[in-house]
Amino acid sequence: MKADGVASIPAARRTKLEPEQRREFLKLLGFAAAGSAAVLSHPLSLSASEADDWNLAGVDAQQGLMLASIARLLFPHPELNDSVYVQVVRDIDADMGQRPDLAKLLQNTAATLEQQVGGDWLAASVPEQVQALKSIEGGEAFFYLRNRTIESLYRNPLVWQLVGYEGSSIEYGGYINRGFDDIDWLDS
Amino acid sequence: MSGSFSQQQSVVVVIGSGAGGGVLANALAQRDIDVVCLEAGRRLDMSEIVNDEAAMFGKFTWLDPRESSGQTIPGFPAWTCKTVGGTTLHWTASCPRMQAHEFKARSTYGAIDDTTLEDWPLAFDDIAPYYSAAEQLMGVTGTHGIERLPGNNNYKVLEAGARKVGYRQIDTNNVAINPTPRDGRGACLQTGFCTSGCVVQAKWSTLYTEIPRAEQTGHFELRPECMVTRIAHDDSGRANEVHYIDAGGTPRTQKASAVCVAGNAIETARLLLNSSSDRFPTGLANSSDQVGRNYMRHMIAGVVGRMPGEVNIHRGAHQAGIIKDERGYNPDRGFVGGILMLTVPFAPEIFAKFLQPNGWGPEYADILAHYNHLAAMLIHGEDLPQASNRITLHQQKVDGYGLPIPVVHYEEHPNTAKLREYALSRGRSVYEALGAKDVYDMVNVFPATHNMGTARMGSDRKTSVCNRWGQTHDVDNLFVSDGSLFTSAGCENPTLTIVALALRQADHIAGRVGRGEL
């Protein structure tokens, strides 16, 4: 039995960050400052030349930018740097290696969406893009994109940090001494 | 040290190593009865158990194909486990006893259209001593002098809201989780990963209790990664062989003096159906045509409150929090069956998928950005047995072992729909009483984890598969040893009752072995 193993778990404690410290910490982790011009004016602040460097197998730069912008439209967190959404594209690219039908499904979907916004997806306004996405809700491609974005985004430790999920706790000794019962607003 | 038995030696073969199979096998081995346990899944090393839900899902979940039919989750009708320890790796360790009246469901509730409701062939008093033994074995809090766990934040929210709406029976539940070191296992550190396997072994699982203890007797051999394909019988109709495919893919045959099936309600029924013969053309022990029928899974729904302050729901033991006020029989509510409300946490990914199954956009993302403000409960309600809710074999599709895959069909009874609406409104009121900014329902999004009834016990061999000992009516030395036995579902998590029934069955089998009958 491993009962004696319990004692060897590090007793490290992660202390709660004050709001100011938390913002600094988030910045260090690659979060954009909330409300920055880039994220408000356009869902993506990336360029095609940057996308060229992603080195994806089945997704070209233009399509990659479009997929990243869709991921941000689906689950827009203004504090998140575009790189977090680019990770969604990398995961889609990896899926394509497993699912031969996926590339075609997404190509057809891209064509439908571009038609909806009258041509260039990245040049369209956010309301136009949202309207276009609504038109494919309920379809197979939308289901895939929503699910894939969730599994990529909400398994990402950067996103956990943002929303306040603390992930693996055993290396800190669980929460028995780190706030499992620290709620302080119930009596007020 | 572990026993080792030849395939030619007639032993008791236990199929499955979870709450039913693991407990039964150890109880027999402790009495010097030779047991071979065939387990379809792999034996995880403790170093493979980590605080990572997605990783653990892949390590212990039963992922072989199953077909969904009716109101079941497409492609994944049930979340069962394929691993040494079975669902005791994944379970929350919630251990409420079933209530006395729930063993007399037909007498208590009366005749209800479109159900096959019956009383159990045993009473609460028959099982009470085994409940007590099971609680002691597993170290259930709030029993036998074992203190209860302290409440976590999610519990404190549940309790405060429940008191405001007038509930009184609220506590941190009876859970098979050590509050202090006990029985060679560590104390709960409130890691928040109960359902991903407990790293500190505070949560009882047969993986590190019953299985190694059985091995120490020398009367038990575990064969992991061995998928049973068929149970065969001799000319007299007694089970005499268990056919399986071993870890290397080689077909094997183990001689058996008795066979006990504990593969969880779907696989147990599937194996019996796959074991048809000239004598049992519709499936082994299926002269009643009840194998696979009366499949029950509980009404399960989530209620999530967006609270005015931080909750940090992910910290702490999952179901160490319960409201019991609604569990009784109270037809004034407009339905029969009881309701339990229990604390439950979810990781951000699960909320993102299911808070609104089609949710997206800025408002939805804003809810998720306030993950640390969410409180949640899981509601369990009794659902009623129906002949048409059943496990059948797919006519064409086979799995990697070449076996027809199971089709899981479930439709909600109108009583269950009424129970659900009532339960959701009561659950919502708990969070609204504390000034929740919003409350969300999570309905029809979870795969079934409580699977019951598919080889049920009964006094009448025409309407049941097994007798009060879990022995099949048709085959003298064939037993069912898992939740398939449940005559009705109650509203409680089924594991404690499965363990109690397994201990009771072990007494019965040992007695028969002692008398030379098996």
Write out pLDDT tens, residues B330-382: 999 999 999 999 999 999 999 999 999 999 999 999 999 999 999 999 999 99
Return the percentage of chain B with pLDDT > 90, whole number. 100
A186 touches chain B (CB under 8 A): yes
Domain presence at residue B17: yes
Domain presence at residue B427: yes
CB-CB neighbors (< 8 A) of A77 in chain B: 365, 369
pLDDT at A20: 54
For residues B454 and B265, is the Cβ–Cβ distance under 8 A? yes
Provide the residue type at B479 as one letter. F
Kind of pairing between the strands at B339-343 and B374-381: antiparallel
Domain presence at residue B4: no
Determine how many CB atoms are found less than 10 A away from the CB of residue B253.
15
Domain presence at residue B1: no
- The mean pLDDT of chain B is 98
Shortest distance between the Cα of A79 and any Cα of chain B, in A, equals 10
Question: Of B201, B211, B312, which to mutate for an interface test with A (greatest number of A Cβ within 10 Å)?
Answer: B312
Number of domains comprising chain B: 1
Mean pLDDT of B496-500: 98
Whole-model pTM: value is 0.93
Could A181 and B152 be called an inter-chain contact, meaning their C-beta atoms sit closer than 8 Å? yes
Domain presence at residue B150: yes
Nearest residue, CB atoms, B46 vs list A2, A155, A180: A2
Tell whether the model's pLDDT for residue B398 goes beyond 60.
yes
User: What CA–CA distances, in Å, run from B379 to B412, B423, B425, B513?
Assistant: 16, 7, 11, 42
- Rg of chain A over Cα atoms, rounded to whole angstroms, equals 20
CB-CB neighbors (< 8 A) of B364 in chain A: 75
CB-CB neighbors (< 8 A) of A150 in chain B: 349, 352-353
CB-CB neighbors (< 8 A) of B434 in chain A: 186
Determine how many CB atoms are found less than 10 A away from the CB of residue B317.
36
CA distance B325 to B340: 8
Question: Of A129, A135, A144, A165, which to mutate for an interface test with B (greatest number of B Cβ within 10 Å)?
Answer: A165
CA distance B265 to B486: 10
Could B200 and A170 be called an inter-chain contact, meaning their C-beta atoms sit closer than 8 Å? yes
CA angle (B55 as vertex; B49, B61 as ends), nearest 5 = 85
Provide the residue type at B202 as one letter. A
Q: For residue range B59-73, list pLDDT tens digits in order.
A: 999 999 999 999 999
User: What CA–CA distances, in Å, run from A134 to A88, A128, A137, B228, B360?
Assistant: 20, 10, 5, 48, 10
Could B189 and A6 be called an inter-chain contact, meaning their C-beta atoms sit closer than 8 Å? yes
Interface of A with B in 11-40 (CB under 8 A): none
Q: Note down the domain range covering B253.
A: 11-514
Nearest residue, CB atoms, A165 vs list B151, B308, B348: B348
CATH number of the structural domain spanning residue B299: 3.50.50.60
Could B353 and A147 be called an inter-chain contact, meaning their C-beta atoms sit closer than 8 Å? yes
Mean pLDDT of B409-416: 98
Mean pLDDT of B449-458: 98
Question: Of B45, B76, B191, which to mutate for an interface test with A (greatest number of A Cβ within 10 Å)?
Answer: B191
Task: Give me the interface pTM, i.e. the ipTM.
Answer: 0.94
Domain presence at residue B159: yes
Nearest residue, CB atoms, A164 vs list B52, B372, B434: B372
Q: Residue B378, SS3?
A: strand
Which letter does DSSP use for residue A109 in this model?
H
CA distance B488 to B297: 10
Tell whether the model's pLDDT for residue B118 goes beyond 90.
yes
Interface of A with B in 120-179 (CB under 8 A): 130, 133, 137-138, 146-147, 150-151, 153-155, 159-160, 162-170, 173-176, 178-179
Place of tokens 């609104």: B356
Question: CA-nearest residue of chain A to B191?
Answer: A174
pLDDT at A55: 85
CA distance B356 to B442: 7
- Rg of chain B over Cα atoms, rounded to whole angstroms, equals 22
pLDDT under 70 in chain A at which residues? 1-43, 188
Length of chain B: 518
Could B151 and A181 be called an inter-chain contact, meaning their C-beta atoms sit closer than 8 Å? yes
Domain presence at residue B2: no
Question: Of B153, B188, B213, B343, which to mutate for an interface test with A (greatest number of A Cβ within 10 Å)?
Answer: B153
Domain presence at residue B297: yes
Provide the residue type at A1 as one letter. M
CA distance B391 to B461: 19
CB-CB neighbors (< 8 A) of A74 in chain B: 360-361
Could B372 and A160 be called an inter-chain contact, meaning their C-beta atoms sit closer than 8 Å? no
Provide the residue type at A138 as one letter. G
Question: CA-nearest residue of chain B to A188?
Answer: B434
Mean pLDDT of B216-234: 98
